[in-house]
Amino acid sequence: MTAPLDKTQPHDKPKVTEREAREVAEAARERDWRKPSFAKELFLGRFRLDLIHPHPMPDSEDVRRGEKFLATLREFCDTRIDGALIEREARIPDETVNGLKELGALGMKIDTRYGGLGLTQVYYNRALSLVGSASPAVGALLSAHQSIGVPQPLKLFGTQEQKDAFLPRLARTDISAFLLTEPDVGSDPARLATTAVPDGDSYVLDGVKLWTTNGVVADLLVVMARVPKTEERKGGITAFVVEADSPGITVENRNAFMGLRGLENGVTRFHQVRVPAANRIGPEGAGLKIALTTLNTGRLSLPAMCVGAGKWCLKTAREWSGEREQWGRPVARHEAVGAKISFIAATTFALEAVVDLSSQMADENRNDIRIEAALAKLYGSEMGWLMADELVQIRGGRGFETADSLAARGERPVPAEQMLRDMRINRIFEGSTEIMHLLIAREAVDAHLSVAGDLIDPEKSFSDKAKAGAQATAFYARWLPKLVAGPGGLPGSYAAFHPEGHPDLATHLRYVERSARKLARSTFYAMSRWQGKMETKQGFLGRIVDIGAELFAMSAACVRAELLRTTDTNGREAYQLADVFCRQSRIRVEELFGRLWNNTDDLDRKVVSGVLSGTYTWLEDGIVDPSGEGPWIADATPGPSSKDNVHRPIR
């Protein structure tokens, strides 16, 4: 029997203030830094090259197993993944999914003791890059299953009983999905409305989840729901493993998007769904912390697929630009087009360097890579989109034409426009660019808030502020003098990165060191100037993070080039690509530094106020709005479903 529930209190949409929402997000952060972090040090003005150089290397046995699987996977991609068919029919064929199951691809990150392949993060990411180049929709299915679906939170936080029960299924047969977002809740989880009401040895779930990637075909779900707080229990947002075919679960819609047309993404309704208490992951109230910790390495899957996209863009640009002639020369020989090809080549090299370095550090587990992974996601998604856009421009009208249309008139069916559509979601998936800016910025200023946060908190007492003042004085007395000078000002620094006959990468590392100190000084000045209002300066914080991302990418590119020089036959070419990338990146960094203080942020806020108040509605005259009628946000009131269940597990 399902216990009757109070229909008023548990399902009322949470009403939270801006401060309360920030407190929920802050409580979910991993606060301690038990291991060193290259990126954290970089934002503090300390260029710790020793944390990433020499480049960490994988174990030989991991390489052997990883390369063996990649060879098998490549053959599968060549023979059994038809990207054009998936795009045309907007669905991944069941036989393709079943083939991936037989291959063991569902268990790439699951330990061998549970029937998985036990691949390292490096080889898991390379596998996703390979699959994503064949079909981004297939890459998204595998990534959503393993990077943020049930396997990863179970690996990190599950009990042994939960691992024994679920991981063997997830390694071979069962697809999983991650359910956090709701129709009226995106990146503000404090307002999460799905409830999990305790009832004996179970919880009863009610609510609606939106954009459940893999949700249409999933067998197991990891669901975030709010347990009501009482005198007896802490409550809060909590994670559960839920069987997707449980009574009361209805997949109400299979969503369709501008890209990733084969994505099995839906709307999932829970009505009086009973979940055993044994399926709760971690304690009550730990759901957001579990989600964020899972994403620390889970986010690396997205830039890994952006690397694959960059490689394809480079290959296509090379082949097309050498074939197409205009004004007596191949278009690649015209400077306007050549600059785009150079950008794609250099950026692909740097992005692969960022992903491989971050992944290898994750495998070694010596460093805290939460910022590195977030920077990789941010940088990869933004640069991946730009590379795809440049490819469309290089292809001209053919870049705008669909692959099917090209084939119909006898030309090679190059899906450039599809790549652009597929890549666009990466700037939103797993944390939009704007949210990533804020998340990384919070981590970047953590050291400052740890010692001086109480000084700018209006709710702290005078004694708390006095204590914080003493701590801040001691910290800044030691820290600030170190920002004046460093190795970046010495011409002979990092000489190992200027071997004879190669471009001078040492000059770029000196630039990174100087810029890191400048970045830290700029952050300190901004905190001194704006104090408690700093968190509202999202334009400034975004530029701070973007500078850090460029400096990280430059560092990774140089370290990778040196690794390839000493271990590979392409070392000279790697140095050339790293040099070009760093020169391009330095131009972007200088522009960002200039925009820290010379921008239109204040004017933009005034215009926004005017737009919202209706001041400029006259500017909207002269158009017809093709949008249909209906609410901006769908009703998500809990209750039984009135729609057909479109859930279709693949067997």
The enclosing H or E element of 251 equals strand 249-254
Instruction: Report the distance separating Cα 452 and Cα 450, nearest Å.
Output: 6
Instruction: Report the distance separating Cα 118 and Cα 80, nearest Å.
Output: 23
Instruction: Report the distance separating Cα 560 and Cα 579, nearest Å.
Output: 12
Q: Is the peptide bond before 54 cis (omega within 30 degrees of 0)?
A: yes
The enclosing H or E element of 210 equals strand 202-213
Beta bridge partners of 221: 177, 242
| Amino acid found at 211 | W
Q: Measured at the alpha carbon of residue 69, what is the angle toward residues 66 and 75, in degrees to the nearest 5?
A: 140
315: left (phi over 0), alpha (psi -120 to 50) or beta: alpha
Question: Which tokens hold the place of 419?
Answer: 């790549």
What DSSP character marks residue 146?
I
Instruction: Report the distance separating Cα 53 and Cα 233, nearest Å.
Output: 48
Closest CA to 112 of 54, 78, 61: 61
Crossing angle of the two packed helices 370-395 and 335-364, in degrees rounded to 10? 160
SS3 44: coil
Give yes or no: 430 in active site. yes
Q: What is the DSSP string of 501-514?
A: TS---HHHHHHHHH
- Can you say whether the dihedral through the CA atoms of 530, 535, 536, 538 is positive or negative? positive
Number of neighbouring beta carbons within 10 Å of residue 32: 7
**Counts for the chain of helices (H) and strands (E), in that order:** 23, 10
- Can you say whether the dihedral through the CA atoms of 425, 430, 435, 438 is positive or negative? negative
SS3 537: coil
Number of neighbouring beta carbons within 10 Å of residue 640: 9
SS3 648: coil
SS3 326: strand
Residues in the chain: 651
SS3 88: helix
Question: Which tokens hold the place of 536?
Answer: 């509202």
Number of neighbouring beta carbons within 10 Å of residue 104: 18
Instruction: Report the distance separating Cα 306 and Cα 312, nearest Å.
Output: 10
Catalytic residue among 430, 443, 513, 550: 430
Instruction: Report the distance separating Cα 106 and Cα 145, nearest Å.
Output: 7
Q: What is the 3 state secondary structure string of 538-580?
A: HHHHHHHHHHHHHHHHHHHHHHHHHHHHHHCCCHHHHHHHHHH
Backbone angles phi, psi at 275, to 5 degrees: -125, 125
Instruction: Report the distance separating Cα 292 and Cα 289, nearest Å.
Output: 5
Q: Measured at the alpha carbon of residue 246, what is the angle toward residues 635 and 642, in degrees to the nearest 5?
A: 35
Instruction: Report the distance separating Cα 7 and Cα 5, nearest Å.
Output: 6
Active site amino acids: 430
